[in-house]
Amino acid sequence: MAKAQAQTPPDDLARIRKMLNDSMGKKGGEPFMLASDEIDADIVGYVSTGSTELDARLGAGNVLGGIPLGRITEIYGPPSHGKSTFLCSVLASAQHGAVKRIRWTRTPEGAYIPEVTHPATRRVCTLMIDTEGTYDKARGARLGVDAEQMLYMNMRDMPDLESVFGAIEKSLERFGDMNAELPVEERTVLVIGFDTIAATLTAAELDDKAGITQKPRVVAHWLKRLNPLLARAECALIVLNQITQKIGSPGGGYDSSGGHAFHHFATFRLDVRRVGRLEGVDPETGILSRVTPIKAKATAPNFTTTLAILDNYGYSDALTVFNTLTNPAVWPDGKAPIENRGGWMKLTVAGQERSFRAVAWPSMFQQDAELRRYARQLVVDMIHKSRGVVPATVE
């Protein structure tokens, strides 16, 4: 027997809301609203990561998502494991219009589901905050980042962490004011990459006056200030971080720089770790990096995705898809779509069996649109069916 649901009459709810807002006074604004309204906590869109599998896993419902707009994403791990390449891949995707806006629709059953309203956004501004001072324009270009279409923050004018966060706050306020006056299709999406917070000292640390708790407090203070501004500015803030050894905690251990601030304020905390070398598929050399969500508030949890990273070209969606399609362990029935028959690979596309050598896959994936769409759709179908939702259609 279904439980009876207690409901407040709409007129009473409106009266209570007005009473609470009036109690705040003239300077308090109107902080109380219906949760069904558009609120700052809503994810307003996604920026593609450049990986079909990771986008499908990070998206809410059956949306091919990625890095959420209006939220903070932390990407952390040991040095030289693919974090900066991850960031460049996201920035390149944003510059190529791989940004989609969504809205949340209430179903008759009372559930809220995401619906894509603008599948591609051309008005995008990318910003790189390089506190390490190691950004390489030549390598960025090989990864797909157009330096002429990206802003770069000069760290000579931003010597400490407080200055950097202060500049981000002012940028979000200006973007929020600008977008508020424009229709949705004319608004500009802001994508900020911060590389890295671990290499940025606080003002007290620069003056040699800081204790071990100074930086976590500064980070927590600023993330709390930035969070409500992100949705209004339609901004994705991506913060790269290093893992550091905990000081003063029983048993030691490791965590990302900044204490527990990102545990509280980030929507995604993605752990990136190198798990091996990339061999036998492409003449280019590279590594395999495993992405594990340590915190995932906006999608199904408990997954890992292994991404292929070429040394000269960054993330390879072709090889990441190939690795998934040839790995029986990730498929519910234990049968991978691509079969290995004595060095020859076999994949059935539109009723036709195609045989090929593994080394030929990247060029086939790049040149054959039908094959590329079919292979990516197989990956998306597998992920979305495991969630019990209708799979998204790959364009």
Q: What is the DSSP string of 10-56?
A: HHHHHHHHHHHHHTT-GGG------TTS--TTS--EEE--S-HHHHH
CA distance 19 to 32: 10
Query: Any idea which of 23-32, 38-47, 140-149, 256-265 has the lowest mean pLDDT?
Result: 23-32
CA distance 57 to 66: 8
Instruction: Give SS3 for 192.
Output: strand
Task: Using the predicted structure, report yes or no on whether residue 281 has a pLDDT greater than 70.
Answer: no
Residue 73: pLDDT band (50, 70, 90) is very high
Query: Any idea which of 64-68, 254-258, 292-296, 301-305 has the lowest mean pLDDT?
Result: 254-258
State the first-to-last Cα distance of the chain, in angstroms, to the nearest integer: 44
Residue 285: pLDDT band (50, 70, 90) is confident
Please state the rounded mean pLDDT for residues 378-385: 96
For the record, the structure tokens of 349 come out as 């596309």
Quote the pLDDT of residue 246. Answer: 59
Residue 3: pLDDT band (50, 70, 90) is low
User: Is the separation of the CB atoms in 47 and 67 below 8 Å?
Assistant: yes
Query: Any idea which of 211-225, 264-278, 330-344, 367-381 has the lowest mean pLDDT?
Result: 211-225
Please write the tens of the pLDDT for every residue from 190-205.
999 999 898 888 888 8
pTM to 2 decimal places:
0.89
Confirm or reject CATH 1.25.40.10 for domain 39-315, answering yes or no. no
Quote the pLDDT of residue 23. Answer: 81
Quote the pLDDT of residue 1. Answer: 44
β-strand pairing of 344-349 with 352-357 = antiparallel
CA distance 193 to 65: 18
Mean pLDDT, all residues of the chain: 87
Quote the pLDDT of residue 109. Answer: 85
User: Is the separation of the CB atoms in 73 and 267 below 8 Å?
Assistant: yes
Please state the rounded mean pLDDT for residues 12-29: 76
- How does DSSP classify residue 277? E
One-letter amino acid for residue 267 of the chain: T
For the record, the structure tokens of 113 come out as 């589901």
Q: Hunting for tokens 């979305």 — which residue is that? A: 384
Query: Any idea which of 21-30, 52-61, 244-253, 366-375 has the lowest mean pLDDT?
Result: 244-253
Other CB atoms within 10 A of residue 20 CB: 13
Q: Where are the CATH 3.40.50.300 domain residues in the chain?
A: 39-315
